[in-house]
A and B are shown apart, each in its own frame.
Chain A
Amino acid sequence: MPGYSDPGFDTLALHAGAAPDPATGARAVPIHLSTSFVFESSDHAAALFNLERAGHVYSRISNPTNAVLEQRVAALEGGIGAIATASGQAALHLAVATLMGAGSHIVASTALYGGSQNLLHYTMRRFGIETTFVKPGDIDGWRAAIRPETRLLFGETVGNPGLDVLDIPTVSAIAHEAGVPLLVDSTLTSPWLIKPFDLGADLVYHSATKFLSGHGTVIGGVLVDGGSFDWAASHATSGRFAELAQAYDGFHNMVFTEESTVGAFLLRARREGLRDFGACMSPHTAWLILQGIETLPLRMERHMANTRKVVEFLAGQPFVSRVGHPLLESHPSHALANKLLPRGAGSVFSFDLKGNREQGKKFIETLKIFSHLANVGDCRSLVIHPASTTHFRMSDEALAAGGIGQGTIRLSIGLEDADDLIDDLKRALKAAEKAA
């Protein structure tokens, strides 16, 4: 910068939000492990607290290293800004808590990560926030579930682990007709595969633990505001968003929609949500996620190349009854994925063995390169049995609605040599077959 055209994705992945440190000349982003930041004067302190000047006060609210990460993810997503949180779950909670309180309602996809399903179905209900779950492809269902007290529609870009693709343009249009925003969890796709804001989403979050950091080292989340939803206009017609469009006595009687035409959500989320709930990210974690993001384009390309080879291999195995990846024409989201995710629908997917539960166990235990653990989006390949682990609290009906069977195996394809991954799977399939 300055330049003649928009900076590209790969450039932003390396440069957005960061310049050489003016104090030291450090080229890499410094880790600012400091809880707090010295005020220049009493007036400076008061101005920072009152949002008359911008800067860092206390690392629960903001931190220079975290701010680089926030700008970078916002840049990659095409948003206006972001908030780094302690985890992806903290990002989801921050979004919900910023927009609503007891008596409010959410419409969410059935195809959610088990933790998100728990949060909405059990925990938020305890605080008076109800959720109606709708199959992601049930377009009429989304529309019918909206109530006067609905504050949010929510889904995953691709459901975990069935990979039902969320029809973001259609669902966002339904949301906007009703005057509510659409929040999308883009953890499994990352902005390299899909940019939900371009398709109509209003808010996006990531479990940055997964592809953004990419190395299975840290827990973190990022909540991004697209700046597109008109909270003031929606509140004027529906009274839904008093939290953003009316004076808030918890913060200097600020009317967030007047302070920022496009950033009211982000303002309140940081000034109330991080301040009061406190689910902030460590600067060291932010730095590690930044390190990951710098190679995100390269890694995603390899993740997808390996995934294509593994899916093709599994689809040809007689002991495999189903491979659930939209690369295959048999997948219900094949056409939608081709349209919305031309680079691929991610490297986390599931498949079903023809065998029984014991054979499934044998399969997982025989794998040597794939690690049996509860994570996805690592540079290493991973495997898990969702019904007994990540989704174990869900009923059989809820599992089925999310596209998960008792014999379903979930893979997260890493960056190893594809031939080695296929050899490992081949060996495990043979062992499982023999275990009958």
Chain B
Amino acid sequence: MIVTVNGTPTYCYTGGKPFDAAKPTVVFIHGVLNDHSVWILQSRYLAHHGFNVLAVDLPGHCRSAGEAPSSVEQAADFIAALLDAAGVQRAALVGHSWGSLIALEAAARLGERVTQLVLVGTAFPMKVSQALLDAAQNDPEAAMKMVNVFSRSTLAAPPSALGPGTWVYGASLALGRRVLRSNQDANVFHRGFLACDRYTHGEEAIAQIACPVLFVLGAQDQMTPPKAAQGLIAKARAAGKTVQVAQPPVGHHQMTETPDETLFAIRDFLIR
């Protein structure tokens, strides 16, 4: 469905069910050079199991108009505005990679309005090498291939989004190309990576959240290796937050390399 946020049309996938603000709501936030479709299995399942789902295309990405966010903070403000525009008082936030930082920062800003926080493939700081930043800016195709290889742990993923017979490695590349092409005004690849690289508020944000937090970390993730999330986990625990950690034996694309395990980790955390 289209929600007008700050005067701009914003696309949210609702999982094949009509949006119903009366249900508990889950907002899914994608990472750099992705869109709502990376969450298809998880969001569609939850939408058919009692949840109201908003899997958003961030501004300037694919079906959403507007200026692509230049910082995690800017994107977090957008998530807050999205909840207001959709008439959602409280929601769980689920973010992947860059989206996890956006979810984290939004949760810190929204306080009690966030019921649960799920950080999939997260790290803090989420530094991006200068070589990758340069490639994203000057040779996006090469950078996409680099990221894709680093994000994958297998050449034989189980049946995933699109069903059996999907070559998820190729699907990720095709999606990256499509998202990049969808914005003729800004290189959302470089802009997203820069936002990840420059975000410094992670430890303060995790201390400010007012909800339980689940970390879903790919044990073989080369983009955001589990050890790179340990600082956040420690800060959350030190701040007295309820923390859960799931560590499926896969790479950075948990949603497609272990779709069921990722879904169940999120589902069980949301309904506990």
**Residue A24 interfacial (CB < 8 Å):** no
A314-345 contacts to B (CB < 8 Å): none
Determine the chain B residues whose CB is within 8 A of the CB of A5 once the complex forms: 145, 149
Are A15 and B169 within 8 A (Cβ)?
no
Report B52 CB to chain A, min CB distance, Å.
Answer: 15
Q: Which label, helix, strand, loop or mixed, suits the secondary structure of the B interface? A: mixed
Are A15 and B165 within 8 A (Cβ)?
no
Interface residues on A, range: 35 or more
**Residue B78 interfacial (CB < 8 Å):** no
B147-185 contacts to A (CB < 8 Å): 148-150, 152-156, 158-167, 169-171, 174-175, 177-179
Report A287 CB to chain B, min CB distance, Å.
Answer: 15
CA distance A258 to B35 in the complex (A): 11
Indicate whether A54 sits within 8 Å of B165 (C-beta atoms), given known contacts A6-B145, A260-B37: no
| A19 contact from B13, B156, B259, Cβ within 8 A | B156
| B159 contact from A12, A67, A230, A260, Cβ within 8 A | A67
Determine the chain A residues whose CB is within 8 A of the CB of B179 once the complex forms: 261
Contact with B along A223-239 (1 / 0, CB 8 A): 00011101010000000
Determine the chain B residues whose CB is within 8 A of the CB of A53 once the complex forms: 41, 45, 259-260, 263
- Interface residues in B, total, Cβ within 8 A: 46
| A75 contact from B145, B150, B170, B263, Cβ within 8 A | B170
**Residue A79 interfacial (CB < 8 Å):** yes
**Nearest CB to that of B38 among chain A residues?**
A261
Are B165 and A66 within 8 A (Cβ)?
yes
**Nearest CB to that of A270 among chain B residues?**
B163
**Residue A52 interfacial (CB < 8 Å):** yes
**Residue A254 interfacial (CB < 8 Å):** yes
Binding site for A on B (CB under 8 A): 13, 16, 35-37, 40-41, 44-45, 48-49, 62-63, 145, 148-150, 152-156, 158-167, 169-171, 174-175, 177-179, 220, 222, 251, 259-260, 263
Binding site for B on A (CB under 8 A): 1-7, 12, 15-19, 47, 50-56, 62-64, 66-68, 70-71, 74-75, 78-84, 226-228, 230, 232, 252-254, 258-263, 266-267, 270
Question: What would 27 A/B residue contacts be, using CB atoms closer than 8 Å?
Answer: A1-B154, A2-B150, A2-B153, A6-B149, A15-B156, A17-B155, A50-B44, A50-B48, A53-B263, A54-B41, A54-B158, A54-B159, A54-B259, A62-B159, A63-B164, A71-B156, A75-B155, A80-B166, A81-B171, A82-B167, A226-B174, A227-B171, A228-B178, A253-B16, A254-B16, A259-B16, A266-B162
Question: Top 6 nearest A-B pairs by Cβ distance?
Answer: A227-B174, A70-B165, A74-B167, A54-B159, A52-B45, A67-B164
